[in-house]
Amino acid sequence: MSLKAPQNNLFVQVESEYNDEYTTKDGKKIYLTTDQFTSDDELDNSNYKPTMIRRHYGTVVGLPIKLTEDIKIIQIDPGLPAPGAYLPNEQVDKMNKYVDSWACLNSFVYQWKTCADFEMEVEEGDKVYFHHNTITEDNEVGEVEGKKTFRLEYQNAICVVRTKKAIAAPSGREVSWEEIIPIAGHILVEPLWQDGVEDLGNGIKGIVTKSGIISELHEKPEPLRGNIVFAGKPMKGEDQELFPGDKIIYLPHSDYNVEIEGKTYYVMKYWEIIAKFD
């Protein structure tokens, strides 16, 4: 069955509303039953976050009618000075008498990038990963062919996983693989550790000398730094400046961890990355 989702939304189906297991910060695995599903307000345990055990992937069963300018994504910074971004001085002067009212807010003309500036890259049948707050009662649209179906805002879709096929030479055999494609301006990043830091096993990282002695142990990667693993497309009209393998610096609080196809990545938006370095 082919469905049409409202503009700027996808329809996704999930096998379950929750993941079957959850790994705490200290590495313990909790195997979940329906009795353990509680709200954040009822649970005071920093290792266990019910919002994070919600299923964050599903299957696309409906594409948006279109992506429109109704959803504002990011405000365009006009820089300083910003000719043409503001009303003429004489118009602002006339508004001085309203300086203590809401009317003064209209003295500026703001420009935005919107949902319409995203490329439409999703296909029906794609496996899609999304923000964990998608699977809620507010987003549920009912059951389709016996499976719960939810509304997913396009800008909250992180990436799709799509099966690719090709004919291998010289055998002529068909081979297939899963391709991860970030969408809606998302970037998948792995944490960047200090030069020389190695994975020593059992979750321990450190620096090993040439003679095999562990000289330092490291618990955390470098703050606000990472390596791009998968890079999505920028918004329409913008140049592609970020590529897999780039070392980047990103804004504080822009990243959050998501497990995608068995590996945990930092997820962030294209415009939250502020620099590349060697």
Specify whether the CB–CB gap between 56 and 131 falls below 8 A. yes
Regarding whether 118 and 106 lie in a shared domain, the answer is no
The tens digit of pLDDT for each residue in 164-212 reads: 888 887 888 888 889 999 999 999 999 888 777 777 777 677 877 777 7
Tokens of 44: 């005071």
% of the chain residues with pLDDT over 70: 74
| The dihedral sign for the CA sequence 64, 66, 68, 73 | positive
Query: Final residue of a domain: which of 94, 110, 126?
Result: 110
For residue 143, give the CATH number of its domain: 2.30.33.40
- Asked if residue 216 is part of any domain, the answer here is no
Nearest to 149 by CA among 62, 20, 19: 62
pLDDT, greater one: 29 or 163: 163
Which residue segment(s) compose the domain that 89 sits in? 77-110
Segment 242-268 mean pLDDT: 92
SS3 content of the chain, % helix, strand, coil (to 5): 15, 40, 45
- Asked if residue 214 is part of any domain, the answer here is no
What are the residue ranges of helices labelled H in the chain? 89-94
Neighbouring CB atoms inside 10 A of 52's CB total 16
Regarding whether 20 and 42 lie in a shared domain, the answer is yes
Which one-letter DSSP state was computed for residue 115?
A: G
Regarding whether 186 and 118 lie in a shared domain, the answer is yes
- Average per-residue pLDDT for the chain: 81
Q: What's the pTM? A: 0.78
- b/e sequence 162-177, b meaning 16+ C-beta within 10 Å: beeeeeeeeeeeeeee
